[in-house]
Structure 1
Amino acid sequence: MSDKMALIPFRQLLLWVMEEYQHSGMVFGIPEEKFFKKSNDRYMELFGEAIATPVGPAAGPHSQLAQNIIASYMSGSRFFELKSVQIMDELEIAKPCISAEDECYNTEWSTELPIMGAFAEYVKAWFILHVIQKEFFKQSERRFMFNMSVGYDLKGIQSPKVDEFIEGLKDAAKTKIFQECQDVLREELGLFQHVDRTFVDQISPQICNSITLSTMHGCPPTEIEAIIRYLISEKKLHTFVKMNPTLLGFEYVRKTFDKMGYDYIQLKEASFTHDLQFGDGVKMLKRLIAFAADNKKDFGVKLSNTLPVRITRDELPGEEMYMSGRALYPLTINLAYKLAAEFDGELKISYSGGADAFNIERIFAAGIRPITVATTLLKPGGYQRFQQLAERLEPLLDNQESSRLDMKMLKALAESAFDDANHIKESRDMLSRKTALKLPLLDCFIAPCEKGCPIEQDVPEYLRLVGEKRYEEAFDVIVSKNPLPFTTGTICTHTCMTKCTRLDYDESVHIRGQKLVAAEKGYADYMQKVSQRQPQSKASVAVIGAGPAGLSAAYFLAKAGMDVTVFDKREKAGGTVEFVIPDFRISREAIKKDIELIESMGVKFKFGVNPNVSVADYKAQGFNYVVLAIGAGRTNALAIQGDMERIRGAIPFLEAFNTDRQGLNLGKRVAVVGGGNSAMDAARAALRVQGVEEVCIVYRRTKDYMPADEEELAYAQKDGVIFKELLAPVSLSGGVLKCQVIELGPADASGRRSPVPREGIYEELPVDTVLSAIGELIDYDLLRTNGIDVGAKGKIKVNEETLETNVDNVFIGGDALAGPWTVVGAISHGTKIAKAILSKEHLEFSQEFASRISFDKEKQLLEVRTKKAVLQPVCDGEEETGRCLECNYICNICSEVCPNRANLMIPLEGEGLTNRNQILHVDGMCNECGNCETFCPYDDAPYKVKMTLYWSEKEFADSLNTGFVILRDGDEPIVKLRLKGEVMEVAFDQTGRTDAPIDSSLAAFIWTVIRQYPYLYKV
């Protein structure tokens, strides 16, 4: 495939818009419910023109092609900063060129098209927008504006081809493309109900009366000023000049990034010293404001340009890239305030730098306008995000142009930017939302939250059921895979939330809390309907250990009809959850209900059993299978010198705390070494011990790198735990814990910075007791005495698919196999073991619920599509379920994030298909920017893997993608298809049947494209 985009002729572009809307109620993938429809007559004035909303795409990927501009308009954009042109057109840009996983980076700085090719795209878009506003929205008066953008030096801007571009957009009447568009519209009047010849004839050829100058970093101030004077006086254009974040200075930017968690971003000091300096910039602006006034033109600044940074982690090809997005917001808004203060608020500012739905109202209210965006549009939801932006600004419009800035409001906005949670980076944000799965050709929609869960809990289904107040059914969905709903609804490490697509919007759906709602409100009704399973096998199972792994294995085995007995050394079931985790984290009543659920399946329990009883003894008692779920029973010792009697393991301490906290003597000061959830539990518990006055957590990295759950860190802080970061304990003597001071070294490829000792520098902490929370160890001796093979490095040898050991019919799981782990991880082991035993007994293992629970699919479709692209903070209570995007039902992320609309959603009905929609990739519209690969939940790139439609045999031949080109249209079409590297011709009859050796679902897909989507290939 080629990274060069093929431009769609105007007639085909027009037909595409009209036919797609008639066929599916969409325009370039924007569904009708996401069309922005004005609710009032308010507007904003700018350069003597009226615009219905003061928001639109920044000069970039979303304003490069006609279809991109059209998609922006449909969702709410009315101000279009056209992608920059320069004398060096048809650039060869290494691909991928965009990395927008969080803050955004790019390596392209102007249009990839020839200058007059870009011009033609803008003219085509100009005409289509006129048609759309009249035909779809019944508006005759234009309420949108194009703003051209050029760079990068005066000589280039004065060159004949750039000058032709500028003059053409000022007045396109005599250009070939303008006349072609007008002629086509006159010929195609039959397509419209509201567009007539008179309307077409009055479409103005005066496309732009304003321009934005974008200069390269390092451009001399005299050059910048000369260009602006030329644009104002010679070209007679209202002018904005882009100013760079480098005006703030290297130290300011470096400190800001470090403070807000972006310490891994590598800056080049030369980018600041060689760029325009703040004082010089202010003087230049003062001269230019006066010059513009003399020439009766408006002049202002565009804040801000992107920021050049080093490529250090192979984010993109090359050595330097340009940063935008949420990390740029605190810089840009503070630069806006700093510049505005120099002019006492009398400065026209256009804005772009991390604007989104959470701050755009405040930016506008401060008097900054218009506002353009790019990074937010590269995230899931894509162009559809404009609807929310436009709707938020609409009530603020006042039918006039801002005359001055509100300095008080702008100052508050600048100061609050440093503490705004939407712009602060946390180390946890560096976790990839991708799964390890490979992208299939068809049926690719998945919920990443499910794949991130060790037991693949059906998250979207139970969230919807909770939202619909169908609690018993939600509980049914949960316990089909999870026998500990109360436990996991309270203390689960919720890895599902680290994969949630909402993280690319705002904040993950708080999934765990909704599971607890389902448990609390669905438990009683569910339990009334539970009946004990009848025996389906004469074989019996002994489960050794009543923790999460053992309980899970027992639950699924008994549910399938096996005789199961759980043995444990303690007096009740629950394992670590019951005996180690403090009651301020999970109530014993919640644990009890989970045990009751498991007992209801027919599981029997025997307590107070000698833990050293051998596997052979259980088999001698008649048990056919033995499951070892004995946990990790040994505490990992803290390797320091000194008063070892004052050092205790965190786990034994927590057990003692849960048994008799009054009998504990820790002294006044306690230090907990470690950074996981056990460390947080130990620290919070220690604060509740009589006599303890101060508890600190000692960790060798910073708090951001602690493995504990975010909420557990927050709870610890709220309780008053002190965090001692960047310290490594060395010795404990005389009530003093001596710690080596640490600093963080360079980040590795994952973004994690390694701890490096600062030689000879120590810190001493007064402590009475040290609690070691650095992990537990597996009791290998117990395993070896039972004949279980343990490798030299402590790896227990098991069948990875079944978890069966080398001892026949003996299985092992949970902490006993993996070491200290999670509750849900232990459940996954118990599930795997149960599947293996049931398979041996030829019994069915079922976790299906679909046959029992149904959904209103049409209602679901409408609701999910409406929620798309809406940024929304976390909600209280069950309203939180409404934030779920139900990605397993409608994903479409690759189509949403594609700036060029090259990935299309094709609804397809057919046997064997599980997804309502399939994805088609259009080769001619793709420039291989790489954005769809970034956000696809699979470890793959949709533009390389999905079924590709080619517009010509040459494109087909030049590519290796699986895909097809249509050789013959009509009643019996023929396509050339590449599938698994083999090329074949596929002929269809009039009903869509084919004798070609291809899957029926794939044949149905191709046939659907041919018959229902002719505008996709008739270009």
Structure 2
Amino acid sequence: MSDKMIQIPFKKLIHWVLEEYQKSQTIFGVPEAKFYRKSNDQHIRLFGEALDTPVGPAAGPHTQLAQNIIASYLSGSRFFELKSVQIMDELEIPKPCILAEDECYNTEWSTELSITAAFDEYVKAWFVLHVLQKELFKQNDRRFMFNMSVGYDLKGIQSPKVDQFIEGLKDASKTSIFQECQAVLLEEIELFKTMDRSFVEQISPNICSSITLSTMHGCPPAEIEAIIKYLISEKKLHTFVKMNPTLLGYEYVRNTFDKMGYRYIELKEESFTHDLQFVDGVAMLKRLIVFALEKQKDFGVKMSNTLPVKIGKSELPGEEMYMSGRALYPLTINLAYKLASEFEGDLKISYSGGADAFNIERIFAAGIRPITVATTLLKPGAYQRFKQLADLLEPLLDNQESSKIDLEKLKVLAESAFDDANHLKERRDVINRKTELKLPITSCFIAPCAVGCPIEQDIPEYIRLVGEKRYEEAYDVIVSKNPLPFITGTICTHNCMTKCTRLDYDESVHIRGQKLIAAQKGYEGYMKTVSAQKPKSSAKVAVIGAGPSGLAAAYFLAKVGMEVTVFDKREKAGGTVEYVIPKFRISREAINKDIELIKRMGVKFEFGIDPNFSVADYKAKGFQYVYLAIGAGKTNTLDIKGDTGRVMGAIPFLEAFNTNRDALNLGRSVAVVGGGNSAMDAARAALRVKGVEKVYIIYRRTKDYMPADKEELHYAVEDGVIFKELLSPVSLTEGVLKCQTMELGQPDTSGRRSPVAKAGAFEELPVDTVLAAIGELIDYDLLKNNGIEVGDKGKINVNETTLETSVENVFIGGDALVGPWTVVGAIKHGTQVAKAILEKEQFEFKQEYSSRISFNNEKQLLEIAEKKGVMKPVRDDEQEPSRCLECNKVCNICAEVCPNRANLMIPVNGQGFTSMNQIVHVDGMCNECGNCATFCPYSSEPYKVKLTLFWSEEEFMNSSNSGFLLLGDGTKAEFKLRLDGKIIIAKFDEMGKPSVPMESSIASIVWTVYKQHQYLF
């Protein structure tokens, strides 16, 4: 495939817009529900003209093609900063060129089109927006504005082709593309309902009266000033100049990133020394303000340009990339305040740099306008995010042209930026939401949260049921795969939330909390419907270990009708959850409710058994199957010198704490070594022991690398735990813990930077007791004594699917197999074992929830559509279901995030489809920017995998994508197709049946596009 975009002729563009809207009430994928329709006549004024709203796309991927500008306009944009042009207009930009996982990086620095082609796109967009304004919104007067952007030096800007571009946008009347667009509209005037000839003829050729100068990093101050004077005096344009965040200085930027969690961003100090310096910049701006006033033109600054950073991990091709997005916001808003203060507020500021739904109202209220965005549009929801931005600003519009910055408001905004959770790195502490699944060519909608869950819970389904207050049904959905909803609803490590699409909006849906609500409110009603199954098999199962894994296996076995007995060395069921997890984290009442559900299924329990059991004894007692769910029974020893009698394992400590905390004597100061959840539990518990005044957590890396859940870290901090980073304990002698000071070296295989000892550097802490939270060990001796084979490096030999050991009908799972793990991981193993045993007994293993649970699909789809593109952070548990995007029902992320609209959502009726619509990729509209690959939940690139529509033989032959090309003049349904690497010719009859064999789903897509979407060819 080619990364060269093919421009859509104006006539085709018009037909595309009208026909797509008629067929699906969308235009370039933007649904009518997301069209921005003003509720009043309020506006602002800019350069003497009226603007419906001051928001729009920044110069970048969203203003490169006409269709991009159209999509922006429909959803709420009214100020368009056109993508920059410069004298070098035959660029070869390595691809992919955009990476917007969190903060955004790009390697573009101007349009990928030639200057002439870019000009054509802008003129075509200008005309289409007039059509939409009249046809859809019934507006006669233009309330939108185009702003051209150029770079990078005076000689290039004065060159004939750049000058022709500037003059053409000032007055396009004599250009061939303007005349063509006008002629096409007049020729097709019968297609329109409200637009007539007089409206078309009065469309102004004066497309731009303003310009934004995009200077290269390192451009000399004198050069910048000369360009601006040229644009104001010679070109007679209102002018903004982009100001780089490098004006703040290297130390300021480095410290800001470090403080906000972006330590990994690699800066180049020379980028700061070679760029315009702040003092010089202020002096230049003062001279230019006077100059512009004399020339009766508006002049101001554009905040801000992107920030150059190093490419250190092959994120994108090349050596340098440019950063934008939420990480840039604290820099940009503080630079805006710093500059505005120099002019006592008398400075016009156009803003871009992390603006989004969380801050746009405050930015505007400070007197800054217009406000453009880019990174937020590259995320799921994409162009549809404009509607929320426009809606938020609508009540603030004052029909005025901003004349002065409100310094007090801007100061508050600047100072609060460093603590604003929306811009701290930890708000999105998981970067990669991708699953390991490969993207299918059709029917690809999945809920990544469910795929990311080890037991594949039906998460969107039960969240919707909770939202509809159908709690008993939600509980039914949960326990179809998870017999411990109270436990997992309280302490689950929630892998699901690390895959949630909401992370690319604001923050993950609080899935775990919704599960707990379902458990709390659905338990009583559900339990009235549950009774033990009558035995359906003579085979009996012994489950040794009453922790989460053993309980899960017993539940699923008994649910089908097998006789199961759970044995445990302790006096109660629950394992680590009951005996180790502190009560301040989970109540024993919650644990007991989960166990009561399992008992209700008919599972028997026997407690106080000999921990040194023999599998042979259980088989002798008539148990055909044995599941070893015994946990990791040995405490890992901390290698420390000195008073080792004051060193205790965190797990034994927590057991003692839960049994009788008053019997513990830890002294006044306690150190917990480790950084996982057990370390947090031990530290918080230690603070609750009588006599303890200080608790330290000692960790050899920094807090950023701690494996504990962020919320557990937060709770530990709240409780008063003192974190001591980059320390490794060496000895404990006479109440003094000596620690080796560490520093971070190169990343290891896990991606974490390895701790390296600093020669001769130590730190001493007053410590009476050390608690080692460095993991538990598997009791291999016990396993070997029972004939279970253990391979090299302690790997227990099991069937990976069934978890059956080398001893027939003896299974092992949970911590006993893999070492310390998670509750939900243990449930997964218990489920695997139950399935394996049931298959041996020739029983069907089912995890389906009740067939009586149904959903109103039409209502559901409408509600999902409303949620798209809307930022909505967590408020309370009641609102959480409204934040779930229900990706299993509607995904379309690859279509949403494509700036060029190259991934199309096509409703298809055919055999074997599980999705409402199918994705068709249009090769000619794709520039291989890579953005759809970033956000697709699969480990694949949609632009390479999805069925591709080709517009020419050359495109088809230059690609390896599976796809189709319409042959001839299109009057016959004859196609060249490439499927699974093979090229075939297929004719379709009037019923849509192909002349050669192919998958029915592929045939249905091709036929649907041909019959119902002719405008695509």
- TM-score, normalized by the shorter chain, greater than 0.5: yes
Residue of structure 2 equivalent to 1:148? 148
Are 1:84 and 1:110, in contact at CA under 8 Å, matched by a contact in 2? yes
Alignment partner, residue 17 of structure 1: 17
Q: Which residue matches 1:612? A: 612
Alignment-derived partner of residue 467 in structure 2: 467
Aligned residues of 2:509 and 2:874 also touching (Cα < 8 A): yes
Alignment partner of 1:784 is 2:784? yes
1:968-1019 deviation per Cα after TM superposition (whole angstroms, max 9, x unaligned): 57675111111110011121110111242211111111111111111111xx
CA contact (8 A) 1:972 1:990 kept: no
Distance in 2 (CA, whole Å) between partners of 1:1012 and 1:611 is: 70
SS at match of 2:423: coil
Query: Are the equivalent residues in 2 in contact too, given 1:514–1:878 (CA < 8 A)?
Result: no
**Partners of 2:428 and 2:507 within 8 A in 1:** no
Please say if 1:60 is aligned against 2:55: no
**Displacement after TM superposition at 1:748 (Å):** 6.2
Residue 260 (1) aligns with residue 260 (2): yes
Structure 2 residue aligned with 1:375:
375
1:605 alignment partner AA: F
How much has 1:741 moved relative to structure 2? 1.2
Matches for 1:250-399 after TM superposition, within 5 Å? 250-399=250-399
Contact 2:545–2:628 at 8 Å: present in 1 too? yes
Amino acid in the other structure paired with 2:1001: S
Match of 2:667, SS?
Answer: coil
Does the CA contact (< 8 Å) of 1:500 and 1:509 recur in 2?
yes
Q: Which residue of 1 aligns with 2:429?
A: 429
For the 8 Å contact 1:430–1:751, the answer to whether it is kept is: no
> For the residues of structure 1 that align with 2:972 and 2:948, how far apart are their CA atoms?
21
Is contact 1:34-1:75 (8 Å) kept?
yes
Displacement of 1:280 in angstroms is: 0.6
The answer (yes or no) to whether the contact 2:430–2:498 under 8 Å persists in 1 is no
Aligned in 2, Cα 1:968/1:617: closer, same or farther, shift over 3 Å?
Answer: farther
SS of equivalent to 1:12: helix
**Across the two proteins, how many residue pairs are aligned to each other?**
1017
Q: Give 1:222's aligned residue.
A: 222
Q: Which amino acid aligns with 2:262?
A: Y
Q: What's 2:899 paired with?
A: 899
Which residue of structure 1 aligns with residue 866 of structure 2?
A: 866
Corresponding position of 1:826:
826
Whole-Å Cα distance in 2 between the matches of residues 314 and 890 of structure 1? 33
Partner residue in 2 for 1:162: 162
The residue number in structure 2 matching 1:727 is: 727
Contact 1:972 1:989 in 2 (8 A): no
Q: C-alpha separation between the residues in 1 aligned to 2:972 and 2:847?
A: 45
**3-state SS of 1:877 partner:** coil
Q: Closer, same or farther in 2 for the Cα pair 1:917/1:248, shift >3 Å?
A: same
Give 1:909 shift. 2.4
1:800 paired residue number: 800
Query: What's 2:674 paired with?
Result: 674
Structure-1 separation of matches of 2:582 and 2:698: 21
> Aligned residue for 2:77?
77
1:184 corresponds to 2:199: no
Counterpart code for 1:58:
A
1:771 and 2:771 aligned = yes
Q: CA RMSD in A?
A: 1.1
Shift in Å, 1:911: 2.6
Output the CA distance in 1 between the equivalents of 2:995 and 2:807: 53
Q: Deviations over 1:354-380 (max 9, x none)?
A: 000000111110011100000000001
Cα distance 1:447–1:587, how it changes in 2: closer, same or farther (>3 A)? Answer: same
Report the Cα distance in structure 2 between the residues aligned to 1:745 and 1:39, rounded to whole angstroms: 57
Distance in 1 (alpha carbons) for counterparts of 2:14 and 2:372: 26
The match for 2:528 is 528
**What does residue range 698-713 of structure 1 map to in structure 2 within 5 Å?**
698-713=698-713
Task: Check the 8 A contact 2:680/2:716 in 1, yes or no.
Answer: yes
Q: Deviations over 1:35-69 (max 9, x none)?
A: 11101111111111111010100000000000000
Partner of 1:965: 965
Q: State whether residues 102 and 431 of structure 2, in contact with CA within 8 Å, keep that contact through their aligned partners in structure 1.
A: no
> Equivalents in 2 of 1:665, 1:885: separation in Å?
51
DSSP-derived class of the 1:94 partner: coil
Q: Distance in 1 between matches of 2:37 and 2:90?
A: 37
Counterpart for residue 504 of structure 1: 504
User: TM-score by structure 2 length?
Assistant: 0.99
Distance 1:490 1:34, change over 3 A: same
What CA distance in whole angstroms lies between the structure 1 residues aligned with 2:898 and 2:508?
Answer: 22
3-state SS in 1 of match to 2:502: helix
Distance in 1 separating the partners of 2:152 and 2:970: 50
Looking at structure 2, the residues matched to 938 and 234 of structure 1 have their Cα atoms a distance apart, in angstroms, of 53
Does 1:173 pair with 2:173?
yes
Match in the other structure for 2:624: 624
2-structure distance, mates of 1:750, 1:972? 56
Trace 1:133-144 onto structure 2 (pairs within 5 A): 133-144=133-144
1:59 and 1:84 in contact (8 A); partners too: yes
2:67 corresponds to 1:100: no
Matching residue's letter, 1:211: I
Contact 1:570-1:607 at 8 Å conserved across structures: yes
3-state SS, counterpart of residue 73 of structure 1: helix
Contact 2:427 2:507 in 1 (8 A): no
Which amino acid is 1:893 matched to?
I
Residue range with higher mean Cα deviation, 716-725 or 314-323 = 716-725
Match of 2:926 in 1: 926
SS of the equivalent of 2:878 reads helix
Cα pair 2:101 2:431 within 8 Å, conserved? no
Q: Does structure 2 retain, via aligned residues, the 8 Å contact 1:210–1:239?
A: yes
Q: 1:291 to 1:970 in 2, by over 3 A?
A: closer
Q: 1:361 to 1:751 in 2, by over 3 A?
A: farther
Structure 2 unmatched runs, 5+:
none
Q: Using the TM superposition, name which of 262-271 and 58-67 deviates more.
A: 262-271
Over 3 Å counting, the alpha-carbon distance change for 1:749 and 1:893 in structure 2 is farther
> Residue 944 of structure 1 aligns to a residue in which SS?
helix
The code of the aligned residue for 2:528 comes to Q
Q: Does the 8 Å CA contact 1:565/1:604 hold for their aligned counterparts? A: yes
1:645 corresponding residue in structure 2: 645
Q: Percent identity?
A: 76
Q: How far off is 1:852 after superposition?
A: 2.9
SS at match of 1:124: helix
Q: Is the 8 A contact 1:261 1:427 kept in 2?
A: no
- Work out whether residues 467 and 881 of structure 1, in 8 Å CA contact, stay in contact via their aligned partners in 2: yes
Query: What are the Cα deviations for residues 291-312 of structure 1, in whole angstroms up to 9, with x where unaligned?
Result: 1011000000001000111100
Aligned residue identity for 1:963: G
Shift of 1:427: 9.2
Q: Contact (CA 8 Å) 1:582, 1:658: kept in 2 or not?
A: yes
Aligned partners of 2:125, 2:655: CA distance in 1, in Å? 69
Q: What is the distance in 2 between the residues matched to 1:758 and 1:779? A: 36
Secondary structure of the 1:39 match is coil
1:417 is matched with which residue? 417
Distance 2:501 2:2 in 1: 30
Amino acid at match of 2:404: R
Give the match for residue 249 of structure 1. 249
SS at match of 1:878: coil
Structure 1's unaligned 5+ residue stretches are: none
Describe the shift of the 1:691–1:505 C-alpha distance in structure 2 as closer, same or farther (beyond 3 A): same
8 Å CA contact 1:427, 1:705 repeated in 2: no
Native 8 Å contact 1:441 1:946 kept in 2: yes
Contact conserved, 2:696 with 2:722, CA < 8 A, in 1? yes
Q: Which amino acid aligns with 2:659?
A: T
Deviation at 1:533, TM superposition (A): 1.2
Give, in whole Å, the separation in 2 of the partners of 1:15 and 1:270.
51
Helix, strand or coil for the counterpart of 1:41? Answer: coil
* Distance in 2 (alpha carbons) for counterparts of 1:28 and 1:694: 61
TM-score, length-normalised on structure 1?
0.99
C-alpha contact (below 8 Å) 2:491/2:585 kept by paired residues: yes
Q: Which residue of 1 aligns with 2:753?
A: 753
CA distance in 2, matches of 1:502, 1:881: 12
Whether the aligned pair in 2 keeps the contact of 1:189 and 1:196 (CA below 8 Å) is: yes
Q: CA deviation at 1:430?
A: 4.5
Q: 1:557 aligns to what?
A: 557
Q: CA contact under 8 A between 1:172 and 1:207: conserved in structure 2?
A: yes
What is the aligned partner in structure 2 of residue 1007 from structure 1? 1007
